Amino acid sequence: MTLRRLAGAAMLTLGLTACDSMPKIPSWVPLIGSKEEPPAPVVAAAPAPVDSTPKEAPAPPPPQPAQRVTADEPFTPVDTGTVSPGMSREQVISLWGVPVAERTQAEWTYLYFRNGCEHSCGMFDLVLLQGGQVVDAVVRGPGHNYAGESSSPPGKLPAATPPGGASTSGPATQ
């Protein structure tokens, strides 16, 4: 380690450990490495008494921690209706309003809508479109309805799907 780096580390350590007890650096003191010239002193007819007591500026307020959502926000859907299989994106938006998010991957489009239980349900209401038409929806919030058979109805319990594709929950169908 070079002498310059050691000196810098020592100054940083000293500054951090004693920063509250050290007086503030006046604004007229040039910074180390600054290429600017300090301003010329002002000559006054009578020298004014200098106050040598350090003045401390009020401490800034501590930064606020990020707010974590721990409960559902109240939400009442307006102008909702029932989404049916085969509807277009525009028809869904005319019923449920503008989605909070929209994602597209190849021929699939995913529309996410507020439902008032984002925290307790763990998700937004979701409408899946394939080729521009509704093929599925996962609905948890009040006021949103799906006329088709959802791939994730509210009462369905999560279960692992083995590599063969058959579900391990419930009776086996043959």
Domain membership of residue 7 (yes or no) is: no
77 in any annotated domain = no
- Single pTM value for the model: 0.49
**Would you state the structure tokens that stand for residue 82, as one six-digit string?**
């029932």
d(CA 110, CA 151): 14
Residue 128 lies in a domain: yes
Share in percent of the chain as helix, strand, coil (round to 5): 15, 15, 70
Q: What is the pLDDT of residues 74-103, one digit of tens each?
A: 666 655 788 999 999 999 998 888 999 999
User: What is residue 67's predicted lDDT score, i.e. its pLDDT?
Assistant: 57
Please say whether the beta carbons of 92 and 145 come within 8 A. no
Written as six digits, the tokens of 34 are: 């600054």
Q: Which of 25-34, 109-118, 124-133 has the highest mean pLDDT?
A: 124-133
In this predicted model, what pLDDT tens digit does every residue of 20-70 receive, in sequence order? 555 565 565 555 555 556 566 666 566 666 666 666 777 777 766 655 556
> Could you give the number of structural domains in the chain?
1
125 three-state secondary structure: strand
Question: Which CATH number fits the domain that encloses residue 128?
Answer: 3.30.1450
Residue 135: pLDDT band by 50, 70, 90 thresholds? Answer: very high
Q: Do 80 and 95 contact (CB within 8 A), yes or no?
A: yes
**Which pLDDT belongs to residue 22?**
55
Q: Does a structural domain hold residue 100?
A: yes
Does residue 140 form part of some domain? yes
The pLDDT confidence band at residue 151, using thresholds 50, 70 and 90, is: confident
Where do the DSSP E strands lie in 20-169? Answer: 82-83, 101-105, 108-113, 125-130, 133-138, 145-146
- Which residue range is the domain that position 103 belongs to? 82-146
Whole-angstrom distance, CA of residue 23 vs CA of residue 55: 8
